[in-house]
């Protein structure tokens, strides 16, 4: 099963310093039929003006991934971590029992990033932070493993979180095709970050569109250079822990 989600029909957040597309219910956007996809609870496509950002605020019991698209993001938290990341780089934070953090754009250019919240497999983990400066060439016309579960010893992903999920990125050059396999009882959420692409000769995607994919392999044909993120996970079950 494949469901195409037009970004123009997603939730919106408009502020003087922030423009956000909400893939799922978030802040002032609430749709009871669109709260989450499996353990994927939040996916926001945020554009932040220069010299602004998210001031210090709390989180707990959530695995948080930040994927930088354009500009630079500067992180600081109550665990004394600080750092600045740029295009194609990733930071992660296990909020666990509780953490305070801020995210700012101290640069002169607009910042765009994906903010991703994933429900952990249990509450009350010890808070943790890290980042990884992936090389852009490592995703050119191939799937680059970014994130996997702490329990997944076979994955090459350097970022490990407390959730059964695998996150990959790719940049497919125009005219090329890529296959992504989704096994039995698994599902995936695909975001076309930049470009245009066709999936299984059915869905025609433009930049910022998404797909829900359940138990079906996909073939992606790049109609232009296409920058893509895929989050692959188990289909949901009643025993799933719901964080906040």
> What are the tens digits of pLDDT across the range 97-111?
999 999 999 999 999
Tell me: pLDDT of 222 over 80: yes
pLDDT at 96 over 50: yes
* Adjacency order of strands within the sheet including 165-172: 2-5, 210-214, 186-194, 226-234, 165-172, 144-149, 159-161
pLDDT confidence band for 238 (50 / 70 / 90)? very low
Res 34 pLDDT > 50: yes
Residue by residue, DSSP assigns 6-53 as -GGGSEEEE-SSEEEEESS-BTTB--TT-S-BTTEEEEEEEEE-TTEE
What is the band of 201 on the pLDDT scale with cuts at 50, 70, 90?
confident
Q: Tell which residue, 151, 143, 221, 158, has the closest CA to residue 188.
A: 143
How is 224-244 classified by DSSP, letter by letter? Answer: S-EEEEEEEEEPP-TT-----
The chain-wide mean pLDDT, for the chain, equals 95
Q: Which of 101, 239, 71, 91 is nearest to 159 (CA)?
A: 91
As a whole number of angstroms, the distance between CA 217 and CA 199 comes to: 10
The pTM (predicted TM-score) of the whole model is 0.94
pLDDT at 32: 95
Residue 95 CA to residue 119 CA, distance in Å, equals 11
Angle at 139 between CA 104 and CA 131, to 5 degrees: 35
Q: What string of DSSP letters covers the chain?
A: -EEEE-GGGSEEEE-SSEEEEESS-BTTB--TT-S-BTTEEEEEEEEE-TTEEEEEEEE-S-EEEEEEEES-EEEEETTS-EEEE-TT-EEEEE-TT-EEEEEEE-SSS-EEEEEEEE--SSS-PPPEEEEE---GGGGBTSPEEEEEETT-SS---SEEESSSEEEEEEEEPTT-EEEE---TTEEEEEEEEESEEEETTTEEEETT-EEEEES--EEEEESS-EEEEEEEEEPP-TT-----
pLDDT of residue 83: 94
Over range 207-229, report the average pLDDT: 96
Q: For residues 22-49, give the mean pLDDT.
A: 96
CA distance 182 to 216: 6
Q: pLDDT digits over 143-174, tens only?
A: 999 999 999 888 999 999 999 999 999 999 99
Residue 73 has pLDDT above 90, yes or no: yes
Task: Using the predicted structure, report yes or no on whether residue 242 has a pLDDT greater than 60.
Answer: no
Mean pLDDT of 118-133: 96
Residue 67: pLDDT band by 50, 70, 90 thresholds? very high
pLDDT computed for residue 202 by the predictor: 80
237 Cβ contact list (under 8 Å, min separation 6): none
> Residue 123: is its pLDDT beyond 60?
yes
**Statement: residue 241 has pLDDT above 80:** no
pLDDT digits (tens, 9 = 90+) for 38-59: 999 999 999 999 999 999 999 9
């Amino acid at each position: 099963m494949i469901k195409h989600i037009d970004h123009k029909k997603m939730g919106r957040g408009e502020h003087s310093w922030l423009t956000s597309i909400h893939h799922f219910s978030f802040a002032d956007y609430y749709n009871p039929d669109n709260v989450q996809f499996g353990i994927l609870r939040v996916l926001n496509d945020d554009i932040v003006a220069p010299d602004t950002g998210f001031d210090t605020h709390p989180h707990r019991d959530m695995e948080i991934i930040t994927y930088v698209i354009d500009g630079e993001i500067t992180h600081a938290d109550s665990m004394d971590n600080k750092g600045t990341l740029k295009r194609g780089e990733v930071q992660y934070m296990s909020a666990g029992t509780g953490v305070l953090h801020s995210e700012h754009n101290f640069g002169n250019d607009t910042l765009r990033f994906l903010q991703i919240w994933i429900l952990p497999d249990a509450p009350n983990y010890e808070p943790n932070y890290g980042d990884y400066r992936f090389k852009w060439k490592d995703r050119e016309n191939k799937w680059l493993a970014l994130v996997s579960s702490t329990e997944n010893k076979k994955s090459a992903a350097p970022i490990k979180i407390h959730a059964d999920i695998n996150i990959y990125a790719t940049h497919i050059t125009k005219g090329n095709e890529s296959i992504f396999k989704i096994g039995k009882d698994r599902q995936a959420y695909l975001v076309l970050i930049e470009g245009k692409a066709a999936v299984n000769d059915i869905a025609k995607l433009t930049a910022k569109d998404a797909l829900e994919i359940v138990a079906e392999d996909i073939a992606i044909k790049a109609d232009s250079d296409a920058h893509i993120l895929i989050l692959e996970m188990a289909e949901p079950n009643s025993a799933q822990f719901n964080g906040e």
